[in-house]
Structure 1
Amino acid sequence: MINYKHPLFGLAFTAMVFTACQKMEDRPLEKITEEYLWDSKDSLGTNASYFLNDIYGDLPTGYNRIDGNLLDAATDDAVPSADNTAISRFTNGGYSPLVNDDNSWNANYTSIRKCNLFVQNFPKVNLKKSDPAIFIQGQYWKAENRFLRAIFYYELIKRYGGVPLLGDRVLTANDDLRLPRNSFDDCVNYIVSECDAIIADLRPDPIPAGEYGRITKSIALTLKAKALVLAASPLNNAGNDFGKWRKAKNALADVIRTGVYSLEPSFANVFLVRKNNEVILAYQRALTFDVETNNAPVGYVNGTTASRGRTSPTQELVDAFPTIKGLPITSDLKSGANPTGYDGNNPYANRDPRLGLTVFYNGARWLNREVETFNGGRDRPGTAIIETKTGYYMRKFMADFSNGTAYSNQTHNFPIFRYADILLLFAEAKNEVDGPGTGADSVYTYLRAIRARAGIQAGTAPNTYGLPNGLTAGQMREFIRNERRVELAFEEQRFWDLRRWKIAEQVYNKSLHGMRINRSGTTLSYQIETLSIPFQFFAPRMYRYAIPFSEISKNINLVQNEGYQ
């Protein structure tokens, strides 16, 4: 298994210092030079492989990465439990060319520079020509490096739109650095062409356990498909060009047709089993229980450390989960006949099983007791400690400690690409191109597969898994969007989905809500309450990040995004 590490690493225009492993300890670390790193006598490419592993460490990861908060705390799915956190700038319009706590521009261009240094210098390494396995390994490394460069560009265009494309160049202080932005479509075409170019040279699937985490052919197909979906979505496809949706649909079908991936039988195991059939690409992390201590309810203590409860899911997210029959809870609220089993006086019973694996609610079992988020409960004491603002805490990604007494180390790889996302994106693209359809290859098939794995009851036609036949394309679009919301919660999907669908201005400019629970004896009463938290979206400005002022000020050819000064 590859480990993504972050050794001390510095890059300048004219010199490079690299430290990666004990194998380099034959000279002082500050004396490691380019000549030593790209050693023509290093016939196994050992030093170059350490350099590449360092680039792997720059892949995106999502747990509590912005001032201790998840990016989803900047959507309608959650709010930060603490006041005055940096994540709040994403919901009050506070990020700007001078302030952005998700500074992807500098981070990704630094990573792209590393990739280009690899492209430039790896040919100097004379791999052992008498050993075909070593030669093939070198081909893999070159292709992996190009993939990594492509995904760093993908991370940039999600945030900024079109950005300058550098190709293979490693710019120096002597070069003209006043590069203009390439168009968004130029950037997408570059990512797609890079993926197409390297697929033949990447490792085949399935990858051996010892190499898990490295880039394979199917992972490159997935990045290509994700980039084409981004290009087809309303934010980047104002004319609703169906040709773009068709390209995305075909690319997603290519991923599905590989047959490499499938839905894990257990939704929980997707995030707890290091190598499974559903995760396509994940950021590889050491075994930890930091997700638990950062996000579990505040009344629980692991040793001497209290859980911090940083993430407070909203009532909006909780209400998005259907009933065990797959029907919206509003079906009961409107009919009064209670056909789905939803009960407002017992709101968490008879619900989609994913709810209990995504959100801690009052009465859920954890560390050998029930969660208490009623007023004055151990997990909402109403004292000076930071606690839930909504009556909920994030549960997703955590192991089953319902009857344990303390946390233990677990696999907490962060999912970058997973198969459920691909199936939902395929359903989305297919719906835009062909409509919902009927039969074995209809949009219904893919949504029902997701819901079946979730544990929703099948029911009977024409309402199988709560998905009624005869939906229009518009109605199906809303079903798909809600299914993405509940299936992919807290995976850094909702933030970007709201933008690519270009509906953020409708979603954000509303009040968010939580649940206030009062207990009298053994009786609980539930009251939805409005949160006094600014939740604003200024269109069109906030659909893109601002290019950092430091870049704009030194490059007259770099045009700022709309709405920023």
Structure 2
Amino acid sequence: MNVFKQLIALVLVVAFAGCTDYLDVVPDERPTEADAFKNIYAAENFLYSCYSYIPNPRSGTGSIDFMTADEVVTAFEHETFANFPKGNFTASNPVISYWNTLFKGIRQCYLLIDGIDQTPGLSDQNKTLYKAEAKFLIAYYHFLLARNYGPTIIVDGVADINTPFEDFPSRAHFDDVIDFIAKTFDEAAAELPVRYSSTSAYGRATSIAAKALKARALLMAASPLFNGGGEDQTSFYTDFKDEEGNLLISTTYNPEKWKRAADAASEAIQLAEANGHALYSYNESLGETYPLDETLRDLRYTFIDRYSQELLWADTRNEGTYELQNKSTPFIQGRAWNGVAPTLTMVESFYTENGLPIDVDPNFDYDNRYAIATGPNGTTLNLNLHREPRFDAWVGYHNSYYEIIRDVDGEVVEQIKTQFRKNDNCGINGRSNNYTPTGYLNKKGVHPKLEQPTLMAPSQQYPWPVIRLADLYLIYAEALIEYGSATEFATAKEYIDRVRTRAGIPTIDEAWGVVGGASTKETLRRIVRDERTIELYLENQRFWDLRRWMIAEDYLGVQAKGMNIQGATDDEFFRVTTVPFQRQFRSPAFYLMPIPQSEINKNEKLVQNPGY
């Protein structure tokens, strides 16, 4: 396999360009392996290069899991990421593949571990720290490989580039991969700081991040896809074996995997909270800003405030011109593209103002949700009214306000009313691109103080969340629900309620009490999955959640729906319409990503994932 024959190359570091408060070290040359540790500066550059193999989580050309689930549909179906919801990827043409990149990153990290001690003048403290960061990345890269490809190759050192083909490694059992990931995260956490004293180190590995990501990996391993199909389903992988006939993914359900995930999440939560991490509340030093409602403002700023204490680990790379913020904001010719559109499925996933699903709340007129109503700002759908704060904070709908700084007819305003009929300010207006395909517009991840005076990268930059505390609370809750009894259920509710309370909705027992309560595993499973769908909307998680729950074909193989964006009147526009974009999900193949066929051809011990 050619990944074991890659020579080292120093590439651009994970950097938040232009901001001195973030990790911002860009090497000025590409050193050879021989001079990588010749001095402190070279060693530091080498460390930073180890981070550079992390896939960019908000890049349309580099991220498999961003805008590729059923949360949004975009006007940018011609772009790379859109091949995934369309199902246009194969082993011969994987479109975006992490396989070689991640193995190169692992090799780079082991080279650092083996060579860092020879760096003249580098303190023993930094040698220990750099090794711990490399171990963290080794664990993280193995986790990404496991999440994408399932059972992968465990790399436990620098492979000899002259390894004969007959000695190339094969894929390890998935459980062994997870054990290696958990062990390596623990080893890294033992030597990593909980935080760094310098803000310039923001984005580097911490013990809190290691423990949190360990919990995420163990939750994945406990989930039905990798745990025998769970309690109620049959594993896809009864015939998935290596070249010697060994099963690669367990087909027997083991509830103790949920307990292991819950224990890891509890440990991570305690460490995070003991060191100042908390669910976000607005930093008043930022000054008065829209939205004026405090709950909506908290939700809108949850992670776009770059000093949010909710972030446990973040990607600090700069957002480019053609990424989320400019693509989401109301249309300006050549500057803002109005094209990231929540699907009707996502719109209907948000709760009512009473904290219940719209099909459960007896006070929500579910049967007439598509009827035209009069809202506070004009006509809209019943569906858009009396919804929870996260809906209003993160979704723009017809005759709602979008908080953004704009020059409107010579006047600077901080919010604009969005209207989506054919000839409206956010309507399609005859364009073949730069329009919302559903008549809704994403607001999440868009800074309310964003200005777009010209074609440029967003004026407001912030680190992208890899994992935040709300996610960790929901990891803990899900593991407890799947493992537990009444005692575990009560604790799970407590942690879900923390997220719900911040979101401005009633607790589980307060909300569900009017419909008979929430005390069974089935009900609580629905609740925690709904919470993940809502709270982590457009944060790279649903692509994987639907897979690990083994329900992806029900959502990802279905064309999106929205309003009739060709309608020029209310009666024409407010009609549920299928978005004419291809959506395909082949089960069980698409539950895992394909290993590039070129790699299978080079290593006869590699077996391809089922269905490719």
Q: Give the TM-score, by structure 1 length.
A: 0.85
> How far apart are the structure 1 equivalents of 2:564 and 2:320?
33
The corresponding residue for 2:440 is 392
The corresponding residue for 2:194 is 204
The corresponding residue for 1:5 is none
The corresponding residue for 1:255 is 268
Give 1:436 shift: 5.8
The corresponding residue for 1:560 is 608
Give 1:159 shift: 0.7
Which has the higher mean CA deviation after the structures are superposed, 155-164 or 114-123? 114-123
> How far apart are the structure 2 equivalents of 1:59 and 1:196?
20
One-letter code aligned to 2:418: V
Q: C-alpha deviations, 1:332-361, integer Å up to 9, x for none?
A: 2358899xx998734323322212332222
One-letter code aligned to 1:422: L
Give 1:37 shift: 2.1
> How far apart are the structure 1 equivalents of 2:439 and 2:195?
44
SS for the counterpart of 1:182 is coil
The corresponding residue for 1:411 is 461
> How far apart are the structure 1 equivalents of 2:84 and 2:508?
43
> How far apart are the structure 1 equivalents of 2:196 and 2:513?
31
Give 1:309 shift: 3.2
Which has the higher mean CA deviation after the structures are superposed, 239-248 or 78-87? 78-87
Task: Kindly indicate whether residue 316 of structure 2 is the aligned counterpart of residue 269 of structure 1.
Answer: no
1:123 pairs with 117, 121, 134, which one?
117
Q: Residues 207 and 360 from structure 1, CA distance in 2 versus in 1: closer, same or farther, beyond 3 angstroms?
A: farther
> How far apart are the structure 1 equivalents of 2:507 and 2:179?
44
The corresponding residue for 2:311 is 279
Aligned 8 A contact 1:541 1:562 in 2: yes
The corresponding residue for 1:359 is 395
One-letter code aligned to 1:98: S
Aligned ranges 1:194-343 → 2 under 5 Å: 194-205=184-195, 208-238=198-228, 239-258=252-271, 259=273, 260=275, 261-265=277-281, 266-286=298-318, 291=323, 294-297=326-329, 299-301=331-333, 305-330=334-359, 331=361, 332-334=364-366
Q: Residues 352 and 178 from structure 1, CA distance in 2 versus in 1: closer, same or farther, beyond 3 angstroms?
A: same
SS for the counterpart of 1:463 is helix
Which has the higher mean CA deviation after the structures are superposed, 280-289 or 386-395? 280-289
The corresponding residue for 1:455 is 504
One-letter code aligned to 2:156: G
Q: C-alpha deviations, 1:283-330, integer Å up to 9, x for none?
A: 0124777646532245225xxx32123422201001111122212223
> How far apart are the structure 1 equivalents of 2:324 and 2:255?
44
The corresponding residue for 1:47 is 42
Give 1:535 shift: 2.3
Which has the higher mean CA deviation after the structures are superposed, 282-291 or 45-54? 282-291
Q: Give the TM-score, by structure 2 length.
A: 0.79
1:97 pairs with 85, 91, 96, which one?
91
- Residues matched between the structures, number: 533
> How far apart are the structure 2 equivalents of 1:275 and 1:467?
40
> How far apart are the structure 2 equivalents of 1:122 and 1:206?
20
One-letter code aligned to 2:153: P
Aligned 8 A contact 1:326 1:467 in 2: no
Segments of 5+ residues of structure 2 without an aligned counterpart are 14-23, 229-251, 282-297, 407-412
Give 1:384 shift: 3.1
The corresponding residue for 2:474 is 424
Q: C-alpha deviations, 1:358-411, integer Å up to 9, x for none?
A: 222222334343222112223223413312211122211111149997896223
The corresponding residue for 1:547 is 595
> How far apart are the structure 2 equivalents of 1:381 and 1:83?
16
> How far apart are the structure 2 equivalents of 1:152 and 1:459?
37
> How far apart are the structure 1 equivalents of 2:319 and 2:61?
21
> How far apart are the structure 1 equivalents of 2:58 and 2:358?
30
Aligned 8 A contact 2:497 2:508 in 1: no
CA RMSD of aligned residues (A): 3.3
> How far apart are the structure 2 equivalents of 1:288 and 1:205?
27
Q: C-alpha deviations, 1:30-54, integer Å up to 9, x for none?
A: 7x43332222xx3xx2211111112
Give 1:63 shift: 1.6
Which has the higher mean CA deviation after the structures are superposed, 357-366 or 538-547? 357-366
SS for the counterpart of 1:73 is coil
> How far apart are the structure 2 equivalents of 1:141 and 1:509?
44
> How far apart are the structure 1 equivalents of 2:514 and 2:262?
25
The corresponding residue for 2:149 is 160
Give 1:152 shift: 0.8
Segments of 5+ residues of structure 1 without an aligned counterpart are 1-9, 129-133
Q: C-alpha deviations, 1:460-479, integer Å up to 9, x for none?
A: 96427999633310111111
> How far apart are the structure 1 equivalents of 2:336 and 2:534?
24
The corresponding residue for 2:427 is 380
Aligned ranges 1:27-46 → 2 under 5 Å: 29=29, 32-39=31-38, 42=39, 45-46=40-41
Give 1:127 shift: 3.8
Q: Residues 402 and 189 from structure 1, CA distance in 2 versus in 1: closer, same or farther, beyond 3 angstroms?
A: closer
